[in-house]
Structure 1
Amino acid sequence: MIKEMDIEEFNYVITKELYNKIDKMIEEKNLPMENAILLLKHAGYLKILKNIWIFDFRNSSLNKRIEKMIVEENQKKKEEKNEKFLVDLCECYISLRTGFPPELLLICVPCLLKAASDKEETEEVQKDVEMALFALCFIEENKIFEQKQYLKEM
C-alpha cells in the first residue's frame, strides 16, 4: 500500500502520531519489535526512494526508543550483542531520520560497514548487504562526521 502512495499521501499517513502509536504498541507488547523493524525499514526504504524529507520521526517517541536501543545494544559485551538486531535498528534509524547525532553515527556507520562487507553469497545475506549499503548512502554530509574515522572498517 505504501508503494502506491504519492508524496502527499505518504506525508499524510506517515506522521509523528503514527510513530508514537507504533512506539506505544511496542511498549504494550501489541507489536513485536521484529515486526516493527520490518515495517519501519520498509517505510524508510520507500521514503528514500521517493525522496521524501519528513521530520516527524525525529520528534517522535519511537525515535527516542530506537536511539536508546542502539546505544544499549552497542554497549553489550561482544558475546551478548546481537549484531543483526543492531544492524536492523541502525538501518531503520538512518532511513527514517534526517540529521544524525554524531554519537549515533559513531555506532551505526561501523555497524553498517561491517554488515555491507559480508562476503557470503546467499540471497538473504546479499539482501542484508544491499540494505546496509542503501542506508549508508543516505547519511548526509556532516562536518562532524569525518571519513577518516571509518577507513579501517572500509
Structure 2
Amino acid sequence: MRETGIMEKFTELFDELEHCDEEEQKQKIEEMNVLMDEMNKDEIYFAFPKERRNKVNEMIEKKKFSIENTIFMLKHFVYCKALKVNPCLFGCFSSLNKRLEKMIIDEDEKKKEERNEKLLTDLCECYVILVDGHIGGEMLSICVPCLLKVALKKEENEEIQKDVEMALLTLSYAGCGVKLNEVYI
C-alpha cells in the first residue's frame, strides 16, 4: 500500500518519538492524534501494525517512552479504530499487547487503596480494542468488570460522560452486547 500524505506524516512523527523528550513526545502525539482523526478506515487499519506496536513496547522497555504518553497515544488510536474499523480486522499479537496484559494484571492485583483505577481503565480500554475484543480468562474477568464500573457512572460531568462513552464503546468491542444508543437516554 502506497502511503498517503497523512500516513507519511504520521510515520514521520512516530519515527521521531524515540528521539524526543517527554514533552516533545506529547506534542508529536497531539499532531498524530489530529492526523488519526483525518484518516479513513484503511489508513487507521495500517496506522499501528504489529511492528509499530512492538516498537512502542521496545521504547517503553528502554525508558524512551512513558506509559502516560503511551496511553495518551493509544487511547486516541483505539477510539478512532473503534469508530472507523470493523472489529476482527486487527487482533494481531504484539509485544505491546503482552505488556498491557501484564500491566493490567499487576494493577488489578494491588490492594484497593493502592490501585490506580483510572490507569487500570485506560489500560483495559487500550488492550481490549487493540486485540479486537479477543480476550478470555483472566483478562476478561479483569477488564469487563472494570469497564462496567465506569460505564455505570451516571454523573452529569462532561469528562466523566466521555469516560462512560469510551467504556461502553470498548465493551461493545469486547462483544458484551452493550450499545451506546441504548444507555443513558
- TM-score bracket, normalised by the shorter chain, equals 0.7 to 0.9
Aligned 8 A contact 1:23 1:65 in 2: yes
Aligned 8 A contact 2:45 2:85 in 1: no
Supply the RMSD in Å over aligned alpha carbons: 1.7
Deviations 1:62-89 (A, max 9, x none): 0000000111111111111111110110
**Aligned equivalents of 1:71 and 1:79: distance in 2?**
16
3-state SS in 2 of match to 1:115: helix
Shift of 1:41: 1.4
- Long gaps (5+) in structure 2: 1-34, 177-185
Give the alignment partner of residue 37 of structure 1, picking from 51, 71, 76.
Answer: 71
Question: 75-84 vs 10-19, which deviates more?
Answer: 10-19
Paired position in structure 1 for 2:62: 28
Alignment partner of 1:54 is 2:90: yes
How many residue pairs get matched? 140
Q: TM-score, normalised by structure 2?
A: 0.70
Shift of 1:124: 1.3
Pick the structure with greater CA Rg: 2
Aligned residue identity for 2:157: T
- Long gaps (5+) in structure 1: 142-154
- Residue identity (%): 53
3-state SS in 2 of match to 1:78: coil
Ranked by relative contact order (alpha carbons within 8 Å, sequence separation 6 or more), the top structure is 1
Q: TM-score, normalised by structure 1?
A: 0.83
Paired position in structure 1 for 2:172: 137
Aligned residue identity for 1:101: G
Aligned residue identity for 1:21: K
